[in-house]
Amino acid sequence: MRPFDLKNENYPGHREGAGFETDRIPEDAVLKKHGEFIAFLKRSKTSVDEEETFRNYLSDLPDEEVIGLYEALRDEKIEWEKGFFYPNIQYLFGTAFEREKDYREQQLWRENSQQQREVTRWYEEAKEKSCVWWIENHIISRHSISSCMSCGACTALCPAAEFYDFSPRMIMTIVQEKDEAEIIELLKSDTIWYCHQCGSCKPKCPRGNSPFGMISSLRQLSQIKGYHVESVRGRQQFAARHLWGGNLWNRACTLYFRNPEPIAHRDFGPRFALYFKHKEEMFRRIGACPDMDGSLSGRKVHPDTLDEVRKLWQAGGVLYLWERIEEAARRQAEELGISLDSYHEKVKSEG
Ligand code: SF4
Ligand code: SF4
């Protein structure tokens, strides 16, 4: 058992601790080649200007080199007690570097797939068909509605309806009427993104409907058609795809412990803000070190495990939807005449 030492400056995760020099350029050949970039990455606070510097640097590098650099940094390790500590994970998450690497890596994954996945073929077909066709054919949508009698029970108990101008009953009515123009308007609105997928509406419906399932199906359709960028909440999917998506793709978890900044989670309250401010010390106090390997780490995941979960997301159509979100964001950023990183900042902070 490690001694309980609050002042232990050598504890992994403590940036200035001995054996953890932020400006040290490692010996690995890949890392050495990109030494200046790495030193900049470690010093940066990920402002938009700095993100553009990352992107300019990466724009001249081939995909394999960007991925190789990321992996070499991710895998650099320091011995710590009976395991290894991975000091660079905290510099990589949420950066333009990680976003660019993920985008290129996922493109290669799709290109190198021996055959297009069944679900991807189906989504491609749906993209060209009407929204009414989707509602009648998408498996989740089909199972989510038989006949809604507009009783309003779902809206009465919906927690999101308390805070927003939002009614699952209205959504079910629009869908049931099968008016293409009205459905498109719904897909372009914030409405479908207000639901927080708690599932309370499903068990209470006297007709056995699932507004919850229908909304998740409509969200997919909105992304496939690119309508989501027309609403504030919809275009936030770009930030979400890189936050939760980046965590899933690189760390096999939805939330990395350094992600939930109090400014974005005011509902967590002042105690959480205090904890977050002192999180490294808190970890030290309980003897936890999340940037190590192991089942509860945050997160150095074995490459074979990562490979396996990535295959699952690809087979389930996740890569296809991420591509649609990325494509729509790049297009809208261009239309607005702003860089992709400024666009990322905009969608993260608006609304
Ligand atoms: S509870 Fe069911 S039947 Fe009633 S409005 Fe909602 S979806 Fe329709
Ligand atoms: S799943 Fe969505 S629509 Fe249903 S009760 Fe929860 S927030 Fe409301």
Q: What is the pLDDT along the chain (351 residues), one digit of tens a residue?
A: 444 455 555 666 555 544 455 555 556 777 778 888 888 888 776 677 777 888 888 998 999 999 999 999 888 888 777 778 888 888 888 889 999 999 999 999 888 876 667 888 999 999 999 999 999 999 999 999 988 999 999 999 999 999 999 999 999 999 999 999 999 999 999 999 999 999 999 999 999 999 999 999 999 999 999 999 999 999 999 999 999 999 999 988 888 878 888 887 888 999 999 999 988 788 777 777 778 776 555 567 788 888 899 999 888 899 999 999 999 999 999 999 999 999 999 998 887
* Ligand 1 surroundings by CB, under 6 angstroms: 148-154, 168-169, 172, 205-207, 209, 211
8 Å CB contact between 253 and 306: no
Q: Which two tokens stand for residue 192?
A: 């479908």
8 Å CB contact between 50 and 44: yes
Q: Give the per-residue pLDDT at 79.
A: 79
Helices and strands in the chain: count of H runs, count of E runs: 23, 2
Q: Which two tokens stand for residue 333?
A: 């950023």
How does DSSP assign 230-271, residue by residue?
GSHHHHTHHHHHHHHHHHHHHHSSS--TT---GGG-GGGHHH
8 Å CB contact between 26 and 19: no
CATH number of 118-232: 1.10.1060
**Closest atom, ligand 2, to C-alpha of 161:** 8
Distance 210 CA to ligand 2 centre (A): 9
Distance 223 CA to ligand 1 centre (A): 25
Q: Round to whole Å and give the CA distance between 291 and 304.
A: 18
CATH 1.10.1060 range(s) for the chain read 118-232
Q: Give the per-residue pLDDT at 13.
A: 58
Closest CA to 297 of 7, 3, 12: 12
Element (DSSP H or E) covering residue 83? strand 83-85
Radius of gyration, alpha carbons of the chain: 23
SS3 297: coil
Q: Give the per-residue pLDDT at 55.
A: 84
Bridge partner residues of 78 (DSSP): 85
Q: Which two tokens stand for residue 309?
A: 């979960």
Q: Round to whole Å and give the CA distance between 285 and 291.
A: 16
**Closest atom, ligand 1, to C-alpha of 147:** 3
Residue with tokens 């066709």: 133
Phi-psi region of 226 (alpha: psi -120 to 50; beta: other; left: phi over 0): left
Closest residue by Cα to atom 2, ligand 1, is: 205
Distance 144 CA to ligand 1 centre (A): 11
Provide CB contacts within 8 A for 153, sequence distance 6+. Answer: 201, 204, 205, 206
Judged on CB neighbours under 10 Å (0-12, 13-18, 19+), 253 is middle
168 lines ligand 2 (CB under 6 A): yes
Residue with tokens 């159509």: 317
Q: Give the per-residue pLDDT at 170.
A: 97
Q: Which two tokens stand for residue 316?
A: 């389930």
Q: Give the per-residue pLDDT at 290.
A: 75
Closest CA to 234 of 184, 295, 167: 184
